[in-house]
Amino acid sequence: MTKKEIIIKLRAAKASHIQWRAYAQAIVGGFSVDQNHVPVIHTNCKFGQWYYGKGQILSSLGG
């Protein structure tokens, strides 16, 4: 995976996580949220799926 591909995937995952967090904040705030967007388990959102899946490749890059 190239550096550019990693950055693109990381940005998409970050955007997805921000959206997931917004749904969680809406629920806490008492707003109605579509059941398909209810963020009950952090690994079920797109960021969690990426982070705990293909994103693990990044752990071998750091030090």
Q: Tell me: the pLDDT tens digits for 12-60?
A: 888 888 888 888 888 889 988 887 777 667 777 777 888 888 888 877 7
Residue 8 CA to residue 22 CA, distance in Å, equals 21
Strand (E) or helix (H) holding 47: helix 46-51
CA 15 to chain centre: 7
Residue 10 confidence (pLDDT) above 80: yes
The more confidently predicted of residues 63 and 4 is 4
- Greater confidence (61 vs 48) lies with 48
